[in-house]
Amino acid sequence: MRDFSQDHRWLSLNTATVRKQGDLAAIIEACARHGIRAIDPWRDQVAAIGLDRAVRLVKDAGLELSGYCRGGMFTADDAHRSAVRDDNRRAVDEAAALGASCVVLVVGGLPQYSRPGSAPSKDIVAARAQVHDALADLLDYARQAKMPLAIEPLHPAYAADRACVNTTKQALDLCDALDPSRSGALGVALDVYHIWWDPELLPQIARAGKDRLMAFHVCDWLVPTKDLLNDRGMMGDGVIDIRSVRAAVEAQGFAGYSEIEIFSDAWWNQPMDEVLATCIERHRSVV
Ligand code: ZN
């Protein structure tokens, strides 16, 4: 297992962590100040400053992208399906322009929540089948663009409104079904916030293996959690044994970035430099 205690060269910043403190240009400047070598930007942050400018800033700063957030939200009724497909293809193209290592996919929950305006449904089985089919279609496109896709399983509390893929096993079942040869085109993004509770986590990480482990996200689970979406904790402030999960993914050969992704009203209210300094300190002491 890699030693993170001496430096933070394997720290990547998911730019949502400081999205309220500045735009992507300001975040990239702050990364330079703090010696952060990698980011995972969100599409809306890229759109806000323009894709061409984002590409230039990333290149000029010498940043790597540990992922691109995000594609997915595949579940939609018939009226919205082609719009979803086109939007995901654009996400793949943007990720390629930015030089991202993968597109992170949050697959969508029940249609009416994932895609406002879609017809109401209580059929989570149908939603999962739709994810399979839409993902198969996107995979064809992504293969041509040589852009890997990483399915991020989300905690079951998000099954209705964000993702009906809720465990590492489910995500890997999709990988096996759609990319049985393990070509490197499809894998998983594992976020400790979503998977730490899973009794099957360690065997599923072993099942994933190096070629399916495409991204590793860290934050912490606070007790109590006041808001399931926007009350994530800084690493070390909660109950997740982050280091043991990192040990498990690294035992499979994962050697990529440890990406900090914290959606938190509390941290969004702190100055950007303070948040990044704390991220670096916790990366070294806790992750
Ligand atoms: Zn994540």
Ligand 1 centroid–CA 2 distance in Å is 21
pLDDT for residue 106 is more than 90:
yes
**pLDDT, position 114:** 87
pLDDT tens across 44-64, in order? 999 999 999 999 999 999 999
Token output for 247: 């040990």
pLDDT tens across 123-178, in order? 999 999 999 999 999 999 999 999 999 999 999 999 999 999 999 999 999 999 99
In this structure, the strands spanning 68-72 and 213-218 are unpaired
Average pLDDT value for the chain: 97
Q: Which helix or strand (DSSP H or E) is residue 59 part of?
A: helix 51-61
Ligand 1 centroid–CA 19 distance in Å is 15
State what percent of residues in the chain have pLDDT above 90.
Answer: 96
SS3 content of the chain, % helix, strand, coil (to 5): 50, 15, 35
pLDDT for residue 11 is more than 90:
yes
Token output for 136: 């198969």
H helix intervals, 179-227: 192-195, 201-212
Ligand 1 centroid–CA 245 distance in Å is 14
Ligand 1 centroid–CA 122 distance in Å is 26
Choose among 257, 180, 206: nearest CA to 11. Answer: 257
User: Cα(275)–Cα(257) distance, rounded to whole angstroms?
Assistant: 18
CA 281, 40, 43, 172 dihedral sign is negative
pLDDT for residue 90 is more than 90:
yes
Q: How large is the average pLDDT for residues 113-118?
A: 87
Ligand 1 centroid–CA 107 distance in Å is 13
Q: Domain boundaries in the chain?
A: 11-282
pLDDT band (50, 70, 90) for residue 116: confident
Ligand 1 centroid–CA 150 distance in Å is 11
**pLDDT, position 202:** 98
CATH 3.20.20.150 fits domain 11-282: yes
pLDDT for residue 86 is more than 90:
yes
Q: How large is the average pLDDT for residues 215-242?
A: 97
pLDDT tens across 246-269, in order? 999 999 999 999 999 999 999 999
Ligand 1 centroid–CA 261 distance in Å is 6
User: Cα(68)–Cα(154) distance, rounded to whole angstroms?
Assistant: 17
pLDDT tens across 26-46, in order? 999 999 999 999 999 999 999
pLDDT band (50, 70, 90) for residue 115: confident
Ligand 1 centroid–CA 152 distance in Å is 7
